[in-house]
Chain A
Amino acid sequence: MHYVVLGAGPSGVVAAETLRKADPTGTITLVSGENEPPYSRMAIPYVLTGKIGEAGTHLRKGEDHYAARGIDVRVNARATALMPDHKRIDFADGSHMKYDRLLVATGARPVRPPIPGLNLKGVHHCWTLEDTRNIIALAEPGTHVVLMGAGFIGCIVLEALAARGVQLTVVEMGDRMVPRMMNPIAGTMIRRWCEAKGIRVLTNTKIKALQNVAAEKSRGIFGFLKRREPTEARDTLDVELDSGEMLSAHLVVVSAGVAPNVDFLANSGVKVDRGIMVDRYMRTSVNDVFAAGDVAQGYDFSTKAHDVHAIQPTASEHGRIAAMNMAGHNIQYNGSLQMNVLDTVGLISSSFGLWAGVDGGDSVEIVDDANYKYLNLQFADDVLVGGTAIGVTQHVGVMRGLIQTGTKLGPWKERLKADPHRLMEAYIARTHLT
């Protein structure tokens, strides 16, 4: 049995390891589209801040980790086509590979919006280790950096750029920061914090175009009138906003969303919606082809629907379940829960499940603007279904626990509505004292 795992992120690595445990004799090939050892994108911000070196991002630390498990790692191999009838994958370098069972764990890639000038020198995504090297070379202390996008990934990049001591302006076209993780009150609190830390945050603002400084200078005095800050010698880019303002930048980082890596599946018969459609056994619409991680649209137990979560815990759970089923077990996935945790220049926030609430539900909210603290709990009957926290870091995981187990809060619901900070007590009382 030859198992091929396409994609060497967390989902692919967990899957390859699980396959080995479940099938000691099968052949396992783990394929990476990049020329790096399997690494974690999530760790990239910490390379930018200098907290770790590149090796610190590697998903497994031992030199012989994969070889010792009989997992053959192939790097720099980008899939270009899947032919299920021949059980064959074609790669960009012209080579191909046969499989008996295939896991597609190819993840996502950053989107480059159709804005003139995004192909210029000094414009980078923050997605790969290669991007990281480019950003480190440009993001020197004091330089003007423009970050496009203040979504979840944008905010993680923001934290890292701020730590490098750059003069940072964030341009977000939505009405608030992290709109898909935080409600308006919470998103606004994060924004105020970032602004107090010296970051300029522009919401409801779009970048219209980028050009080289030399081209902009040829416009003469009018180009300079639109500037809030004078240009620096190091600035090589002009960033034109839809407000009419012109920003000078040494580096522009684009964080405008991601798209699943599914192009190679065209004409393969594998059904794709927002991601690859998988059933609760992580099977795609094509025999012997499974999908997992950020590329997969998997079951979400909180919404009872299928969605792309693009988070590490879901990726590793997908990888484990898919691998068990590839190896011949019959394990149904109970589903995942959307959740995120974010650190924006020292302010820590998290959100879980249906944080925006449900129809006919109930909620409690505590807003402490002066101390940058926020807590919001969402209930359906007496069961927690979602939550948001800012400035609260202890025991936040119980929000997942309570949501996932559907624990009935009983009298504790009213106690939580009076003081939502008693969440951990509610959890212990309802799970350990009953």
Chain B
Amino acid sequence: MQRSLNIDPGKCTGCRQCEMACSYENEGVFNPSKSRIKVFTFDAEARFVPYTCTQCAEAWCMQACPVDAIKVNLATGAKEVHADLCVGCKVCTIACPFGTINYNASSGKVMKCDLCEGDPACAKACPTQAITFVDSNWTGLDKMRAWAAKTDTGARAN
């Protein structure tokens, strides 16, 4: 069974523990600017929205990579950046229409959510279950997928 991150903004309190956990898990530092998940604040509506890669089927980043440095982890379904192959050209950062793969100037490479090899630190750190790691077949994910599909460049055969 493959699992996906499910984000319920209504439950997010804006504590940003997910950002801290992500940054520490992946970069070894507590630095929200190094996090692959970001919490956006909408002051007027008093809302918080955690946001990260949906591991979309279109895989814009992967298709755009000129050196095959982004690959699907067959166990988790995540599109992962292989740092040893990434040259830091940044084409994926303009190709991803969701803005969820970004350049990390300190490593000279790009970074994105890789689902922490199937045990995402953000979901574990979230105290309110705004971020959960659920069965990919759960219907609540459809809305996110529908949005992703809207951006496709050509209908798919299957």
Residues of chain B in range 132-158 having any CB-CB distance to chain A below 8 Å? 147, 150-157
Stretch in contact with the other chain, from B17-25, B83-91, B113-121: B83-91
A392-416 interface mask toward B, CB cutoff 8 Å, 1 = contact, 0 = none? 0111111111001100000000000
B67-99 interface mask toward A, CB cutoff 8 Å, 1 = contact, 0 = none? 110000000000000000101111101111111
Q: Residue B103 contacts which of A335, A348, A429 (CB distance < 8 angstroms)?
A: A348
Say yes or no: is B64 at the interface (Cβ < 8 Å to chain A).
Answer: yes
Say yes or no: is A427 at the interface (Cβ < 8 Å to chain B).
Answer: yes
Say yes or no: is B6 at the interface (Cβ < 8 Å to chain A).
Answer: no
In the complex, what distance in Å separates the CA atom of A10 from the CA atom of B67?
A: 9
A397 B66 Cβ-Cβ under 8 A: no
In the complex, what distance in Å separates the CA atom of A343 from the CA atom of B147?
A: 31
B99 A395 Cβ-Cβ under 8 A: yes
Say yes or no: is B30 at the interface (Cβ < 8 Å to chain A).
Answer: no
In the complex, what distance in Å separates the CA atom of A395 from the CA atom of B103?
A: 9
B151 A404 Cβ-Cβ under 8 A: yes
Q: How large is the interface on B (under 10, 10 to 19, 20 to 34, 35 or more residues)?
A: 35 or more
B68 A397 Cβ-Cβ under 8 A: no
Q: Name the CB-closest residue of A to B150.
A: A405
Say yes or no: is B105 at the interface (Cβ < 8 Å to chain A).
Answer: yes
B42-71 interface mask toward A, CB cutoff 8 Å, 1 = contact, 0 = none? 100101010100000000100110111000
- By a CB distance below 8 angstroms, the chain A residues around B94 are 313, 339-341, 350, 352, 396-397, 399-400
- By a CB distance below 8 angstroms, the chain B residues around A394 are 99, 102
B67 A316 Cβ-Cβ under 8 A: no
A46 in contact with B89 given A320-B154, A398-B99 (CB within 8 Å) = yes
In the complex, what distance in Å separates the CA atom of A236 from the CA atom of B115?
A: 55
B90 A348 Cβ-Cβ under 8 A: yes
Q: Residue A313 contacts which of B9, B42, B60 (CB distance < 8 angstroms)?
A: B60
A433 B42 Cβ-Cβ under 8 A: yes
In the complex, what distance in Å separates the CA atom of A348 from the CA atom of B102?
A: 12
B97 A428 Cβ-Cβ under 8 A: no
In the complex, what distance in Å separates the CA atom of A302 from the CA atom of B154?
A: 15
A428 B40 Cβ-Cβ under 8 A: yes
Say yes or no: is A231 at the interface (Cβ < 8 Å to chain B).
Answer: no
A401 in contact with B68 given A56-B87, A334-B153 (CB within 8 Å) = no
- By a CB distance below 8 angstroms, the chain B residues around A341 are 89-91, 93-94
Q: Residue B154 contacts which of A57, A317, A405 (CB distance < 8 angstroms)?
A: A317
In the complex, what distance in Å separates the CA atom of A397 from the CA atom of B99?
A: 4
A321 in contact with B42 given A313-B64, A393-B102, A398-B97 (CB within 8 Å) = no
A335 B153 Cβ-Cβ under 8 A: yes
B67 A56 Cβ-Cβ under 8 A: yes
Say yes or no: is B37 at the interface (Cβ < 8 Å to chain A).
Answer: no
Q: Residue A59 contacts which of B67, B87, B90 (CB distance < 8 angstroms)?
A: B67
Residues of chain A in range 319-339 having any CB-CB distance to chain B below 8 Å? 320-321, 324, 329, 331-336, 339
Say yes or no: is B130 at the interface (Cβ < 8 Å to chain A).
Answer: no
- By a CB distance below 8 angstroms, the chain B residues around A332 are 154-155
Q: Residue A393 contacts which of B45, B85, B90 (CB distance < 8 angstroms)?
A: B90
In the complex, what distance in Å separates the CA atom of A427 from the CA atom of B147?
A: 12
Say yes or no: is B5 at the interface (Cβ < 8 Å to chain A).
Answer: no
A397 in contact with B96 given A56-B87, A316-B63, A425-B42 (CB within 8 Å) = yes
In the complex, what distance in Å separates the CA atom of A132 from the CA atom of B154?
A: 36
In the complex, what distance in Å separates the CA atom of A327 from the CA atom of B157?
A: 11
- By a CB distance below 8 angstroms, the chain B residues around A60 are 68
In the complex, what distance in Å separates the CA atom of A160 from the CA atom of B37?
A: 32
A393 B93 Cβ-Cβ under 8 A: yes
Distance in angstroms from B13 CB to nearest chain A CB is 17
Say yes or no: is B12 at the interface (Cβ < 8 Å to chain A).
Answer: no
Say yes or no: is B122 at the interface (Cβ < 8 Å to chain A).
Answer: no
Q: Residue A433 contacts which of B47, B88, B150 (CB distance < 8 angstroms)?
A: B47
In the complex, what distance in Å separates the CA atom of A393 from the CA atom of B63?
A: 20
A334 in contact with B154 given A397-B100, A431-B147 (CB within 8 Å) = yes
Distance in angstroms from A130 CB to nearest chain B CB is 18
Say yes or no: is B101 at the interface (Cβ < 8 Å to chain A).
Answer: yes
B97 A433 Cβ-Cβ under 8 A: no
Say yes or no: is A312 at the interface (Cβ < 8 Å to chain B).
Answer: yes
B67 A398 Cβ-Cβ under 8 A: no
- By a CB distance below 8 angstroms, the chain A residues around B66 are 10, 40, 42-43, 59, 312
B49 A428 Cβ-Cβ under 8 A: yes
**Most chain-A CB neighbours within 10 Å: which of B90, B151, B152?**
B90
Distance in angstroms from B139 CB to nearest chain A CB is 17
B5-17 interface mask toward A, CB cutoff 8 Å, 1 = contact, 0 = none? 0000100000000
A400 B154 Cβ-Cβ under 8 A: no
Say yes or no: is A219 at the interface (Cβ < 8 Å to chain B).
Answer: no
- By a CB distance below 8 angstroms, the chain B residues around A22 are 157
5 closest cross-chain pairs (CB), A and B:
A401-B97, A395-B99, A398-B99, A40-B66, A397-B96
Question: A316-B64, A394-B102 known; 6 other A-B pairs, CB under 8 Å?
Answer: A312-B95, A320-B63, A333-B154, A348-B103, A400-B97, A424-B99
- 24 sampled A-B residue pairs with Cβ under 8 A: A42-B66, A42-B89, A52-B67, A59-B67, A60-B68, A313-B64, A317-B63, A320-B63, A321-B154, A331-B154, A331-B157, A334-B153, A395-B38, A395-B100, A395-B102, A396-B99, A397-B93, A398-B97, A400-B95, A400-B96, A424-B51, A425-B42, A427-B99, A433-B47
